[in-house]
Amino acid sequence: MKRHIPNAITLLNLLCGCIAALFVVHGNFIAGALFVFLGIFFDFFDGFAARKLNVQSELGVQLDSLADMVTSGLVPGLVMYKLLELSDDRIIKHIENSQQWTETMLFAGIKISIVPLLGLSITLASAYRLAKFNIDTEQQNFFKGLPTPANTLLIIALPLILEYQNNDAINAIILNKWFLIGLTIFSCWILNANVKLFALKFKEYGFKANAIRYIFIILCLVLLIVLKFAAIPLLIVLYIIMSIIDNSSK
């Protein structure tokens, strides 16, 4: 019976991802983000449960990636699609000659904006990363490229910043089409970049062996308290920079 517990938790991750996708498609980023956070929690907890119960299996590994593909692959692509749609709306309102950015295609009676479809490239890049991760035997104590849950937090933070921090300068940046396109390109690249990033896994709890992890966790707590959701993109960038510095010092 206990061997089914981690897989059941993984399926909860998948369920949360499906529900999050439904909310995001209907423009409810807040509820979508809530279910993404729940899904990422289950994503962490299924592996923890499998190790504690000593019931790791190849089925669990594959199921975990399939669940991540929805929660941390499909959902961030949909969020970026919707944000690019919002950017499109701003362009329509503020730029008279905006035909190149407002062109749509008609498919099965549904009008689909062309440019926002670029956001779905995050979903494709996430699928590629997850497939590579499944066949890579090296990524035990580190990651190659940004993990899909971290990338999802980076993307899902944007509408939360718009909703809860509502700063005109920050809003203008987030809803700038070039910023969103640039972030989409960066996201696709960093997901699959050959950059070693430290994993938040503790084999032991001594400070010397885990200094970078403890420092990062402390910085996370401080920045989240001070900057709230605006801290999340900064923390992802900080995570990458700290990993690069840590690698160069070895």
Quick check: is 99 in a domain? yes
Quick check: is 221 in a domain? no
Give the pLDDT score at 94. 44
Give the pLDDT score at 102. 47
- Per-residue pLDDT reduced to its tens digit, 64-81: 999 999 999 999 999 999
Quick check: is 115 in a domain? yes
Q: What is the CATH number of the domain that holds 14?
A: 1.20.120.1760
**Spatial CB neighbours of 221, under 8 Å, sequence gap ≥ 6:** none
Count the domains in the chain.
Answer: 1
Quick check: is 50 in a domain? yes
- C-beta contacts of 20-29 below 8 A and 24+ residues apart: 20/71, 20/75, 21/70, 21/74, 21/75, 21/78, 24/75, 24/78, 24/79, 24/82, 25/78, 25/82, 27/82, 29/79, 29/82, 29/156, 29/159, 29/160, 29/163
Quick check: is 180 in a domain? yes
Residue 111 sits in which domain range? 2-195
> What is the reported pTM?
0.88
Give the pLDDT score at 106. 56
- Per-residue pLDDT reduced to its tens digit, 183-223: 999 999 999 999 999 988 777 778 777 889 999 999 999 99
Quick check: is 233 in a domain? no
> What does the radius of gyration of the chain's CA atoms come to, in whole angstroms?
19
Phi, psi torsion values for 146, nearest 5 degrees = -75, 130
Nearest to 37 by CA among 241, 226, 224, 177: 224
Quick check: is 227 in a domain? no
- Per-residue pLDDT reduced to its tens digit, 89-132: 554 444 344 444 445 555 555 666 788 999 999 999 999 999 99
